[in-house]
Amino acid sequence: MEKSPETRRYKNSFLNWIEYRLPIISYMEKEYGDYPMPKNCNYFWSFGALASILLVVLIVSGIFLAMHYTPHTDMAFDSVERIMRDVNYGWLLRYMHSNGAAFFFIIVYIHILRGMYYGSYKYPRELNWILGVFIYLLMMATSFLGYVLPWGQMSYWGATVITNLFSAIPVIGEGLKTWILGDYTLGNATLNRFFALHYVLPFVIFGVVGLHIAAVHVHGSNNPTGIDIKSKDDSVKFFPYMLVKDTLATCVLGVVIAVVIFFGPNLMAEVDNYIPADPLVTPSHIVANWYLAPFYAILRAIPDKLGGVTLMFGAILILFVLPWLDTSKTKSCNYRPVYKWFMMLFFVNFFILGYVGMKPAEGIYLLIARLGLIYYFGFLLVLTPLIGKIETPKSLPASISDFFMNKGNNIKESKSETELH
Amino acid sequence: MRILLIAIIFLLPNYNLLAENSNSSKPKHKWSFSGFTGTFDRASVQRGLKVYREVCSGCHSMKLLYYRDLIDIGFSKEQVKAIAADYTIIDGPNDEGEMFERPARPSDRFVSPFANEQEARVSNNGAYPPDLSVITKARKNGVDYLYNLLLGYKEPPEGFEIGEGMYYNKWIEGNQIAMAPPLDEGYVDYDDGTENTLPQLAEDVVTFLAWSAEPELEIRKKIGIKVILFFIIFGIIIYLIKQRLWRDVN
């Protein structure tokens, strides 16, 4: 085979040797060195990097935890406590893993909200969005499986509630549930397979994240204006400009996450999970992990079990078609005066759903959950297609550098003003 | 969008705190181990151990603790050996295939008062005294809750129907508890001359339980401060580099 003319030459002969056989050096250079980032990306564009870092932290801490964990109903709880007490820095591993998972969700939620607000899911990044929603689905499954492993009260009863959902499916429901549990009730067979799946799914997530990143690098990142890179002036290289911003964001996250891990490691945990699982005692109210609470609220808002399950899964699956529900050509909500406020309301509504998802489903909470549910679907299915048709977007800047210069000028002006005072 | 970010940052971690609001009316106690730099008051933990050994251990197990763990709270190896030797455990089988009794060693787990749950229930009017190893983590606002609970035994208000063998307690869910008032003034005599009032006994035993639930607390906070400082200093350096780099772009 003839040598391709593009093969890069490097000063270092070892790099050359590798590059000639596997062009990974030039690939890394292209994707993480020279990769053009729009100049005007704000710190919301660092959350993808933060999520990737957390995923690695979770996988590494998880592997070490798995070395000491015993997936058996009689021993799981004690083995987790053994990790906390007798394994060197086991408490650190476990708290990093459990709080890291919670922060992974926080980061990913902000990442998703950013994508929604700035219209990152629109042409030509639809597939990228779909891969993202797929990652989110996998995350939910993985976190649920992981939550079962300590075999505390909330593990056991949470898993009972969730696996019972499958029995709502007509005809095959009961059989499906038994197949998933590996037994007629939640037991050792279930715990074993949940551990196996919890170990393997993060690697699947890792793979899909790879695709997700590769896909976004094809057309480049979106930016707050929502317009594409048109000239070299519009962008900066990933290295070092974006990397330094991502590193700064990592430091900020590091401070926040360290405060939680070291000074309030159980703030986001359910106390009932420090009580060993007891199939004979039901906790006074079974709550979902807080990061799944919005969907738990939707589930319980419907009096009919099958209806609740359908809507709960529907609430996630509907996100897959968001790029085709949105009829507006304008990407960024900064230039969509009407839709912007409904989008904000959607975010707030999601929080409220999460809050009522943690409360008992009765009285006022049930009412709020139902209203929240109506807005959740109403926004995605009715408002999003409708507003795109009737709204007049603001005029977009001519180019990113144009926008960036103006913004820079504004800052300089205000600076000189303060200097004057 | 910026306002939203701030809202998110403040709302997200507060989910649980908000959900726990119902608990906030309970009185809070000041603990030696709370706050960013709080450490366990060793003398209090040791007194708490005495309270546990003389009172609580009659019904409650602490299966996750080893006697050797007591070295962490300031006992010498010899003292720990002596404490362990006060208990008898069943070991075996020996070479003849027989189970035998021997005094406990520092490497043994805390001896449980009952052989199994059934025995515990039959001795306690059908109720099962929970294991206390991680009890402060297993209740909402655990340390304050337990302290309040120990002081919360009162005469039931008029018209309150109390079950057979149950006691009225202000702080337990449903206000009925199967545990008889476990502590009262003078129940345990302290060796170090500390007054053995009921609040003192309660504070000491809860401090001991808090240590038992989170023996890593002190080292955790110590490392935590270093980690936070690292990220702050590293972050400042990165921030300065970033300002320098982006000056040209701007």
User: How does pLDDT run across B71-113, given as a tens digit for each residue?
Assistant: 999 999 999 999 999 999 999 899 999 999 999 999 999 999 9
Residue B12 placed within a domain: no
Amino acid at A221: S
Is the model's pLDDT at B245 over the cut of 80? yes
Q: What CATH number did the domain enclosing B149 receive?
A: 1.10.760.10
A239 touches chain B (CB under 8 A): no
In this prediction, residue B164 carries a pLDDT of 86
Residues A288-392, CATH architecture = Orthogonal Bundle (1.10)
Is the model's pLDDT at A377 over the cut of 60? yes
pLDDT tens-digit profile of A196-234? 999 999 999 999 999 999 999 999 999 999 999 998 889
Is the model's pLDDT at A51 over the cut of 90? yes
A254 touches chain B (CB under 8 A): yes
What crossing angle do the helices spanning A305-317 and A363-378 adopt, rounded to 10°? 40
Which residues are CB-neighbours of B166 under 8 A, at least 6 positions away? B176, B177, B178
* CB pair distance less than 8 Å for A355 and B19: yes
Q: DSSP letter at A242? A: I
In this prediction, residue A96 carries a pLDDT of 97
In this prediction, residue B197 carries a pLDDT of 94
pLDDT tens-digit profile of A237-287? 999 999 999 999 999 999 999 999 999 999 988 899 999 999 999 998 888
pLDDT tens-digit profile of A295-349? 999 999 999 999 999 999 999 999 999 999 999 999 999 999 999 999 999 999 9
Question: pLDDT category, B7, cuts 50, 70, 90?
Answer: low
Which of these, B181, B153, B192, lies nearest to B48 by C-alpha position? B192
Residue A409 to residues A226, A234, A332, A402, A405, Cα–Cα distance (Å)? 21, 16, 22, 11, 6
Nearest-angstrom CA–CA distance, B67 and B61 = 13
- Domain A36-224+233-286 belongs to what topology? Cytochrome Bc1 Complex; Chain C (1.20.810)
Minimum distance, in Å, between the CA of residue B134 and any CA atom of chain A: 7
Q: Identify whether the C-beta of residue B215 lies closer than 8 Å to the C-beta of residue B72.
A: yes
Question: pLDDT category, B10, cuts 50, 70, 90?
Answer: low
Token pair of A413, please?
A: 């002006």
Is the model's pLDDT at A6 over the cut of 70? no
Token pair of A323, please?
A: 């790029």
Plot region of B241 (φ>0 → left; ψ -120 to 50 → alpha; else → beta) = alpha
Which of these, B154, B124, B130, lies nearest to B142 by C-alpha position? B130
pLDDT tens-digit profile of B143-167? 999 999 999 999 988 888 888 889 9
Which residue on chain B is closest to A80 by alpha carbon? Answer: B64
Nearest-angstrom CA–CA distance, B39 and A338 = 54
Task: Give the closest of A245, A267, A355 to B242, CB-based.
Answer: A245
Residue B222 placed within a domain: yes
Question: Which of B220, B226, B232, B241 has the most A C-beta neighbours within 10 Å, making it the best mutation to test the interface with A?
Answer: B220
Nearest-angstrom CA–CA distance, A90 and A96 = 10
Position of tokens 């209806």?
Answer: A307
> Where does A67-166 have alpha helices with state H?
76-85, 90-117, 126-148, 153-166
A140 touches chain B (CB under 8 A): no
* CA neighbours closer than 13 Å in the CB half-sphere of residue A131: 18
Is the model's pLDDT at A288 over the cut of 60? yes
From the centroid of its chain, how far is CA A144?
14
Is the model's pLDDT at B18 over the cut of 80? no
Is the model's pLDDT at A3 over the cut of 60? no
- Mean of pLDDT over chain A: 92
Residue B191 placed within a domain: yes
Is the model's pLDDT at A414 over the cut of 90? no
* CA neighbours closer than 13 Å in the CB half-sphere of residue A224: 15
Is the model's pLDDT at A192 over the cut of 90? yes
Minimum distance, in Å, between the CA of residue B109 and any CA atom of chain A: 12
Q: How many domains does chain B have?
A: 1
In this prediction, residue B173 carries a pLDDT of 87
Which residue on chain B is closest to A407 by alpha carbon? Answer: B250
Nearest-angstrom CA–CA distance, A101 and A97 = 6
Q: Identify whether the C-beta of residue A202 lies closer than 8 Å to the C-beta of residue A122.
A: no
Count of pairs with CB atoms under 8 A, one residue in A, one in B: 117
Question: pLDDT category, A118, cuts 50, 70, 90?
Answer: very high
* CB pair distance less than 8 Å for B227 and A248: no
Nearest-angstrom CA–CA distance, B84 and B67 = 6
Minimum distance, in Å, between the CA of residue B245 and any CA atom of chain A: 7
* CB pair distance less than 8 Å for B227 and A91: no
The domain in which residue B51 lies consists of 25-65+109-239
Residue B30 placed within a domain: yes
Which percentage of chain A shows pLDDT scores above 70?
95
Q: DSSP letter at B21? A: G
Token pair of A16, please?
A: 């050359």
Question: Which of A80, A262, A291, A401 has the most B C-beta neighbours within 10 Å, making it the best mutation to test the interface with B?
Answer: A262
Q: Identify whether the C-beta of residue A57 lies closer than 8 Å to the C-beta of residue A202.
A: no
pLDDT tens-digit profile of A131-174? 999 999 999 999 999 999 999 999 999 999 999 999 999 999 99
Which of these, A207, A157, A209, lies nearest to A185 by C-alpha position? A157
Residue ranges per structural domain of chain A: 36-224+233-286, 288-392
Structural element, H or E, at residue A305: helix A305-317
pLDDT tens-digit profile of A226-246? 999 998 889 999 999 999 999
Which residue on chain B is closest to A102 by alpha carbon? Answer: B13
Amino acid at A355: Y
Is B181 exposed, middle or buried (CB count within 10 Å of its CB: 0-12, 13-18, 19+)?
A: middle
Residue B19 placed within a domain: no
Task: Give the closest of A236, A260, A272 to B249, CB-based.
Answer: A236
In this prediction, residue B161 carries a pLDDT of 87
Q: Identify whether the C-beta of residue A55 lies closer than 8 Å to the C-beta of residue A201.
A: no
